[in-house]
Structure 1
Amino acid sequence: MHLPMQMKAMVLTGHGGLDKLEYRDVPVPALADGDVLIKVAACGVNNTDINTRTGWYAPSVKTALTEEIGLRGVSAEAQDLGSWDRASLQFPRIQGADATGTIVEVGPNVPRSRIGERVITDPCIRDARLPPLSQGILYFGSEYDGGYAEYTKIPSGNAVKITSTLSDEDLASFACSYSTGEEMLVRVNLQAGETLLITGASGGVGSALVQLAKRRGARVIAVGGKSKEQSIRALGADDFIPRERGDLFEAVTEIVGLREIDAVADVTGGPTFSQMLRVLRRAGRYVSAGAIAGPCPEIDLRDLIYKDLQMWGVGNPQASTFAALVGYIERGEIKPLVARTFALSELREAHTEFVSKKHVGKIVIKI
């Protein structure tokens, strides 16, 4: 196959508003040892794209990721802007963690038989020499150029072959959100018959969690915007609490009784965080993978201490989790939930739609 020298890409030129996204011609990536080149067909939009572009990951930012921040970025006065691991970024950068496409070329020490494979990208680039939960060293589309381009490169092990009749757009909705959700359930070891409380249940990770928890045979109590109740219940949620209600502790207690939640999967953080800990039973489990409603909530340590709670944070799913996810997709055990698609040149419009939080599921870019 003849490969072009140049390609179209949406390039992030710095921290800030939508104007930092520029649609331009850039060189097709050169392959290093162990890399593959993917002709991208589609790529999903994720919170990490917005967080990185706006500078919301900066430790000095204490507020929720509001629609205004999503459109304009954080204050230009912030001096500690960075990526998800608070490491400095190099610009320009191509974002996009959820690329789906076809391998069209391979670098040294990669079998040429991989050319032609349909793949999805495992966005967590790992150093296997490190302990299992410490292996994530780079994130595709963050510290490493990603999928908002006609072509992208990635280590061969992160280009995972998939056999599915789903469309490219559907496949591009899974990688980041669903692997994060599954890793959250792995960490809390969710079992059949247990009751799980899920916050932010209409978003990419939240909606994935509903499906993944039901796949495990758990009872799901989902929290989300009132207007999205029907869509969330359609995913399998057993009970629903409107976010607008506010009194989470009382609402949960009405459904299951006092402190009867086995685990909480939280992707929002914010002012209801302390109530999430209150609803947990003795030795209950809490796991977080997001804090867009507020990263610095109050905590009553007495809930943590005297109930012997267990808590986890998830930023880097394990390779085994991603491999399991691919199996679920291929066997049809989970389904995609694509709210809307945009062209690559329309990424600014896609970000605008994303931060409005009016959708359920994923927004996907068609390349």
Structure 2
Amino acid sequence: MKAVLLTGYGGLEKLEYREDIPVPRPGRDEVLIRVGAAGVNNTDLWTREGVYGTEDDPQATGGWRRGEQMEFPRIQGMDIVGRIIAVGDGVPKSRIGERVIVDFVLRCGEGEEGLINAALIGSERDGGFAEYVAVPAENAIAIDAPLSDEELATFPTAYLTAEHMLNRARVVGGETVFVTGASGGVGSALLQLARLRGARVLALVGEGKEDGARELGAEGVISRGVSDLSSTVAGITGGHPVDVVADVVGGETFSDLLRVLKPLGRYVTAGAIAGPMVQLDLRTLYLKHLELIGSTIGTRKEFVDMIGYIEEGKVQPLLAGTYPLSEIKRAQEDFRSKSFFGKLVLVP
């Protein structure tokens, strides 16, 4: 089959497109999926580059599970949509032919506890940057939606991550949520899902992407790089501070984001695309009684909830570009450029 092998930590040269990879065979309680489309994520790039570090050494080379090394070669790709074409022992043959979207998280238990030390399809197990992939049957979730495979592949990682962030931060209707990186996959998902809860949403985006955020329901849009973020936000909100900051950017904006929060406000993060090392004035944290909340991936219930939103038409796909699998390097270069709004998808 056609597939892309990640042969080690490093640059794009570590991605090897091949057409002679054996088709995997589904083991017990597994299914074999013919991949229709697979989304591109920041995790793919960070995992390839090995930039997750460790708690002891932030500069250490390593994979998504901090302190553990990946096994190579590995087929990446977490956002998988396709059809089941074969099943292993223990799986009803009636599942053959099902259109499925893959829950990419291999949890260690139920609820939030199951996310600690969880593994990922596409990281600790081969993923969807291939024509076929074998996954646990329970992770292949049937979906009934009129959307294309490419459109469906924009949802899994971004929307599961965003839903978990909002749940961790306890966002409810009537609150004001400030979303950074709002033109990316997780950011645009946060906009839609926060609005779905009845929250008021403000968005921080790169220049030229303001209209896209407004179309998703952002009531206030700020271009990245403004000289005084706090004053700009106050001007939009009429001086009322923000209840929740949902951040996937990090970097130099971190301390500014804490300043826009109201006392007893909540800051939740699931990414650091502008840099993981930040400066924190502890006085801002303790004098305002703020909460700092870490969040990553999500629970099975949240994944099922996401599928419900899709099937009911409550969220819209933001497909910014489609690439053949053989052009994965160009897709990842374009992904890093951040010149698009939404998600990029590979088609094997």
Q: Same fold (TM over 0.5)?
A: yes
The aligned residue for residue 111 of structure 1 is: 92
For residue 129 of structure 1, report the CA deviation from its aligned partner: 6.2
Q: Is 2:222 the counterpart of 1:276?
A: no
- CA 1:259–1:274: 2 relative to 1, 3 Å: farther
Indicate whether 1:265 and 2:242 are aligned.
Answer: no
Cα distance, 1:291 vs structure 2? 0.3
Give structure 1 regions of 4+ aligned residues with deviation exceeding 4 angstroms. 59-62
Matches within 5 A, 1:47-126: 47-59=42-54, 80-86=60-66, 87-126=68-107
In the TM superposition, residue 251 of structure 1 has moved relative to its aligned partner by: 1.4
Aligned counterpart, 2:272: 291
- Equivalent position to 2:172, from 168, 191, 195: 191
1:296 is paired with a residue whose SS is coil
Give the percent of matched residue pairs that are identical in Structure 1 and Structure 2.
Answer: 50
2:204, 2:221 within 8 Å by CA — same for their partners in 1? yes
5+ unaligned residues in a row in structure 1: which ranges? 1-6, 63-77
Matched-pair contact (CA < 8 Å) for 2:270–2:294: yes
**Structure-2 separation of matches of 1:255 and 1:120:** 39
Partner of 2:8: 14
Q: What whole-Å deviation, never above 9, does each CA across 1:223-242 have from its counterpart, x for those lacking one?
A: 01121111111111110011
- Asked whether the equivalents of residues 9 and 26 of structure 1 are also in contact (C-alpha less than 8 Å), the reply is yes
Contact 2:165–2:296, Cα closer than 8 Å, also in 1? no
SS in 2 for 1:93: coil
Q: How far did residue 133 of structure 1 move?
A: 5.1
| Matching residue within 310, 320, 326 for 2:307 | 326
Taking the aligned partners of 1:84 and 1:102, their CA distance within structure 2 comes to 28
In structure 1, give the amino acid aligned to 2:344.
Answer: I
Verify: 1:27 aligned to 2:22, yes or no.
yes
Tell me, which stretches of 5 or more residues in structure 2 are unaligned? none
Counterparts of 2:109 and 2:34, CA distance in 1: 27
Give the conservation status (yes or no) of the 8 Å contact 1:199–1:266. Answer: yes
Contact 2:31 2:135 in 1 (8 A): yes
Q: Pick closer, same or farther for the CA change 1:348–1:217 going to 2, 3 Å.
A: same
Cα displacement (A) at 1:143: 1.2
- 1:342 and 1:349 map into 2 onto residues whose CA distance is 8
The answer on 1:344 being equivalent to 2:339 is no
**For residues 224-281 of structure 1, what are the alpha-carbon distances to aligned partners after superposition, in whole Å with 9 as ceiling and x for unaligned?**
1121111111111110011021422221122225561110100000111111112111
Q: Deviations over 1:100-127 (max 9, x none)?
A: 0001111221222211110011111112
CA distance in 1, matches of 2:146, 2:71: 37
Distance in 2, matches of 1:268 and 1:211, equals 18
Q: Secondary structure at the match of 1:19?
A: helix
Q: CA RMSD in A?
A: 1.6
1:129 and 1:213, CA in 2 relative to 1: closer, same or farther beyond 3 A? Answer: closer
What is the rounded CA distance, in whole Å, between the counterparts of 1:187 and 1:133 in structure 2?
15
Q: Structure 2 vs 1, CA of residues 95 and 61 (structure 1 numbering), >3 Å: closer, same or farther?
A: farther
Aligned length: 345
- Residue in 2 aligned with 1:170? 151
Which whole-Å deviations, capped at 9, do the CAs of 1:286-320 have from their partners, x for residues lacking one? 11011011101001122222222222211231111
Cα deviations by residue, 1:54-86 (Å, 9 ceiling, x for unpaired): 222224986xxxxxxxxxxxxxxx6x3111222
- Taking the aligned partners of 2:114 and 2:26, their CA distance within structure 1 comes to 28
**1:292 and 1:139 mapped to 2: Cα distance?**
20
CA contact under 8 A between 2:115 and 2:298: conserved in structure 1? no
Alignment match, 1:305 = 286
Contact 2:107 / 2:114 at 8 angstroms: preserved in 1?
A: no
Query: CA distance change for structure 1 residues 11 and 269 in 2, over 3 Å: closer, same or farther?
Result: same
CA separation of 1:193/1:144 partners in 2, compared to 1, >3 Å: closer, same or farther? same
Are 1:356 and 2:341 an aligned pair? no
1 CA distance for matches of 2:216 and 2:57? 34
In 1, Cα distance between the equivalents of 2:259 and 2:6?
41
Residue matched to 1:69: none
Secondary structure at 1:321's aligned position in 2? Answer: helix
Please say if residues 258 and 267 of structure 2, whose CA atoms lie closer than 8 Å, have aligned partners that are also in contact.
yes
- Contact kept in structure 1, 2:157 and 2:297, CA below 8 Å: no
Give the conservation status (yes or no) of the 8 Å contact 2:110–2:299.
no
| Secondary structure, counterpart of 2:208 in structure 1 | helix
Aligned 8 A contact 1:125 1:136 in 2: no
The SS at the match of 1:120 is strand
